[in-house]
Structure 1
């Protein structure tokens, strides 16, 4: 059964990397429709593709599914991030029914104005020490490699997917502080610009909460948390974790391949991203 929402936000898919959980995302897109679909940055990982080419059929399938939704009437808005920053030069143009924008403004059903941005603009590591972000990317890949082996074992034991890398990251004091600071900086920017809230990606930490009267939403990612932010038709915002919901909709053969795929390569979230 398909679920229809007013709006869906997804980010940090990292197509072009072994870590991209394309099969789960494709399954999510098959079972969820919306009036508007926001792609909130790092959809394609240009950083990794520059190092080595990695592009499987599943990555094509995700792109084709998004294009098909656009053809069937879904309003698709793409706000590039730092990993797909090459697309920012096309901001203001539309391709294949997909509107590319440097940022966007969304009005919820209950009247809130939300700023839609990827969020790397407010990450000091990305803006002032990009070399450190590349170093962090390599270290993060090692952690994700452990995550791969750990989930292979969980799959053999009949246990569901669980992100070891997210657990470790959120237990590290500096990472926790970085995430908290990032969230408050984004909320403050939304307030400064007269918005009621902000929706972003970048730090791979799915969240919906109130920060001093400002709505803060983060879509999460399709590498670790496998999550999306959705808006119901009454304006309610909710995080959907597809690892918890998919159940039998993901064939076991696909799940096994996902658990046993090669070492992951994605964004370092540093303290992050």
Structure 2
């Protein structure tokens, strides 16, 4: 199955599902923002923390929502079709937000690069774009890009990226089992792969090189900052006068980038907003036909 087919099949499978019921918002008040950025959901893989993501989408509201790449994982879907009901629910939730007035902008990444053939199209109210310039409420211009074009492995040795992807998926499998156990013990979510990356000097160096390269290009484009994803490492810091923001991911970090009404930016760690015991995704889920 080609990745283009995977994208269309995922969208088709979602479209034929009955509409998601209206939310009961009485349990917790929604957090309201001017803009939200999320990336690296990796829908179509067991590693996607769909339950946490649905909780985030339910209890946040914004004027504009950026989906900054790797939303649907075409690499994994090509190897093995995995599309549980929870992943349908995520797409339904995004489509519903678009219907209710949120501007939703999808910027494809390398795992959903098949969507780049649909640039400047609109799917169910969701705009598809290669990149974007966002102006914050306080007048700063932020360049929005997934970031894979600044990854030397992706650009120069794609076969190595595929190998790394398989090893990463294995680590995430261990992570799911570990967090299922932690949830039963009443302990909060903890990312094994994030911990390991932080301990490996080469990984730390790779992250730093990536961040510097993206910040340099943002400067060249006349932007005051950049928002990206790709490396699964939530961060917000100044790099030589350029505000570098990475919104993290939804397989490890459970993070998003948020803009408040006054233009202030912050990284949201959604694991801190969820009740203990609900963060970890079960090791096995029922797959939608």
Normalising by structure 1, report the TM-score. 0.91
SS of corresponding position for 1:61: helix
Q: Structure 1: how far apart are the matches of 2:203 and 2:37?
A: 24
Bigger mean CA offset, 89-98 vs 171-180: 89-98
> Does structure 1 residue 86 correspond to structure 2 residue 114?
yes
> Does structure 1 residue 216 correspond to structure 2 residue 249?
no
Instruction: Give the drift of 1:193.
Output: 1.1
Equivalence map 1:112-131=2 (5 Å) = 112-131=140-159
> Does structure 1 residue 261 correspond to structure 2 residue 289?
no
> Does structure 1 residue 16 correspond to structure 2 residue 44?
yes
Query: 2:85 matched to which residue of 1?
Result: 57
> Does structure 1 residue 3 correspond to structure 2 residue 25?
no
Identify unmatched segments of 5+ residues in structure 2: 1-28
Query: 1:266 matched to which residue of 2?
Result: none
Query: Deviations 1:20-39 (Å, cap 9, x if unpaired)?
Result: 11111011010001000000
Query: 2:26 matched to which residue of 1?
Result: none
Bigger mean CA offset, 139-148 vs 95-104: 139-148
Query: 1:26 matched to which residue of 2?
Result: 54
> Does structure 1 residue 159 correspond to structure 2 residue 203?
no
Q: Structure 2: how far apart are the matches of 1:143 and 1:162?
A: 13
Query: Deviations 1:122-143 (Å, cap 9, x if unpaired)?
Result: 1010011000001111111222
Instruction: Give the drift of 1:255.
Output: 4.9
> Does structure 1 residue 172 correspond to structure 2 residue 200?
yes
Question: In 2 relative to 1, CA 210–72 (structure 1 residues): closer, same or farther, beyond 3 Å?
Answer: same
Query: 2:104 matched to which residue of 1?
Result: 76
Instruction: Give the drift of 1:261.
Output: 1.1
Identify unmatched segments of 5+ residues in structure 1: 264-273
Q: Structure 2: how far apart are the matches of 1:80 and 1:143?
A: 24
Q: Structure 2: how far apart are the matches of 1:32 and 1:156?
A: 27
Q: Structure 1: how far apart are the matches of 2:69 and 2:245?
A: 14
Instruction: Give the drift of 1:105.
Output: 0.7
Does the 8 Å contact 2:150/2:210 carry over to 1?
A: yes
* Displaced runs of 4 or more, over 3 A: none
Q: Structure 2: how far apart are the matches of 1:135 and 1:221?
A: 20
Query: 2:21 matched to which residue of 1?
Result: none
- 2:95 corresponds to which of 51, 64, 67: 67
Instruction: Give the drift of 1:154.
Output: 1.6
SS of corresponding position for 1:48: helix
Instruction: Give the drift of 1:66.
Output: 0.6
Q: How many equivalent residue pairs?
A: 257
Query: 1:185 matched to which residue of 2?
Result: 213
- 1:136 corresponds to which of 136, 160, 164: 164
Query: 1:111 matched to which residue of 2?
Result: 139
